[in-house]
Amino acid sequence: MIEYFTRSFFLFLYRMIKWVLHKVLGVCELQRLCRDCPAGSTRTKKVELSLKKSKYAALRRVVADDDDITVNDAVQNIITMKMINPDTHQDVVEALTNCVSQTIGYRALLKEIEVLRTEAYSSENSEHEEDLLQLWSLLVPQTPLENRITKQWQDIGFQGDDPQTDFRGMGMLGLKNLLYFSTHYSGTARQLLSHSNHPTLGYSYAIVGINLTSMAYHLMVDGHLKTHFYNSCIGAPNLNNFHQVYCYLFYEFDRFWISEKPDTIMEFNRIRQKFRLRIIEKLEDPDTILSAKFELEVN
């Protein structure tokens, strides 16, 4: 009960301050944010917060989990309710449109990722099988796969004779991430596979890759990746942007793992958690972009 009244009091105080500033400066909070804050994470996050705390349900809806609202409708609602003239404040409307596009786009991307994550891998699905076989051919192009069920899968870091069981946690999202990395950065992916086979510092390449899919997914769900996407994308982020984050995480984790010099693979959870906290700390910097060092690689 005390917590409820505390939140209510601070929300009331926040709205009072906004009202006073609006009267004194002649512009609403959203106008000030769009003009005074630098484009990117800082501006979009502050616009999100302003909309979330709005007294108008129609404006709160912009940052709510709503599939029906479009960017154009949301912006139109905002400029109408806040009486922002698009002819005299074109710069504000453009900045606001980008912020709203990023906000709605982030939620849409999260839903798209969730669909892939909950899609179970099936050996009876020809597209799933094609993706898996392509992953093998990209990582070890000189070695033919003897059978669909074979111990060879362990050579690229799966646990047993059939990779299907290893995708249970992240579904097709795990395979799509691995395949994207191997397709767009084949040389780098094979280099990391070579590192994973090191006699003392090795790790299970595919299993670690799926584990990093889980890390990327939870960074997305928890909102940490807003910093990166709002800084790196003009407008809505898409699935390829998420795949690029995954590639960054895999490349950086490989470097981090080697630098930690683990005695055994049993140290994986400790090192993974340490790496995750470093990524989160990095994303707390409002200017952060997770830029891969290998982005200029040409295949």
- Buried (b) or exposed (e) across 3-35, using 16+ Cβ within 10 A? eeeeeeeeeeeeeeebeeeeeeeebbbbbbbbe
Per-residue pLDDT tens for 145-171?
999 999 999 999 999 999 999 998 999
Q: At residue 298, does pLDDT exceed 60?
A: no
At 7 the pLDDT is: 55
At 173 the pLDDT is: 98
Q: At residue 107, does pLDDT exceed 80?
A: yes
Closest among 104, 148, 230, 247 to 189, alpha carbons compared: 247
Spell out the domain ranges in the chain. Answer: 2-117, 126-283
Q: What is the mean pLDDT of residues 32-47?
A: 94
Q: At residue 103, does pLDDT exceed 70?
A: yes
Q: What is the mean pLDDT of residues 210-236?
A: 97
Mean pLDDT taken over the chain: 90
Per-residue pLDDT tens for 108-144?
999 999 999 999 999 999 999 999 999 999 999 999 9
At residue 10 the predicted structure's pLDDT band, cuts being 50, 70 and 90, is: very low
Task: Specify whether the CB–CB gap between 41 and 102 falls below 8 A.
Answer: no
At 292 the pLDDT is: 77
At residue 299 the predicted structure's pLDDT band, cuts being 50, 70 and 90, is: very low
Q: At residue 220, does pLDDT exceed 90?
A: yes
Which of the residue ranges 20-29, 30-39, 207-216, 221-230 would you say has the lowest mean pLDDT? 20-29
Q: Could you give the CA distance from residue 263 to residue 257 in angstroms, rounded to a whole number?
A: 11
